[in-house]
Structure 1
Amino acid sequence: MKVMIVEDEGLIALELERIAQDAGHQTLGPVSTIEQALAYAQKSDVALVDLSLSDGFSGAQLARRLIDRYGVDVIFVTGSPENVGNGIEGALDIIPKPFTDDRIAGALSRAQALRRDFDGSNAVL
Structure 2
Amino acid sequence: MNSAVESKPRTSAVASQSVLIVEDELLIAMDLESTVKDMGLDVIGLATNKEQALRLAPKANIAFVDVNLSDGATGPEIGRRLIDEFGVTVIFMTGNPEAVTGRIRGALSVVSKPATPANVQSLLMQALRARRDRAVGM
- Check whether TM > 0.5: yes
Q: Which of 107, 111, 116 is matched with 2:123 structurally?
A: 107
Q: Which of 62, 69, 87 is matched with 1:71 structurally?
A: 87
Amino acid at match of 1:59: G
Query: Equivalent pairs: percent with the same residue?
Result: 45
Amino acid at match of 2:55: A
Shift in Å, 1:85: 5.5
Structure 1, gaps ≥5 residues long? none
Pairs aligned (count): 121
TM-score, normalised with respect to structure 2: 0.82
TM-score, normalised with respect to structure 1: 0.90
Aligned to 1:82: 98
Task: Give the 4+ runs in structure 1 shifted more than 6 A.
Answer: none
Shift in Å, 1:21: 0.6
Amino acid at match of 2:93: V
Shift in Å, 1:8: 0.7
SS in 1 for 2:114: coil
Please give the alpha-carbon distance, in whole angstroms, between the structure 2 residues aligned to 1:57 and 1:36: 15
The 8 Å contact of residues 19 and 63 in structure 2, kept in 1 or not, is answered as yes
Pairs within 5 Å for 1:1-125: 1-84=17-100, 87-120=103-136
Over aligned residues, Cα RMSD in angstroms?
Answer: 1.5
Deviations 1:83-108, CA, capped at 9 Å, x for gaps: 11674211101110121111111111
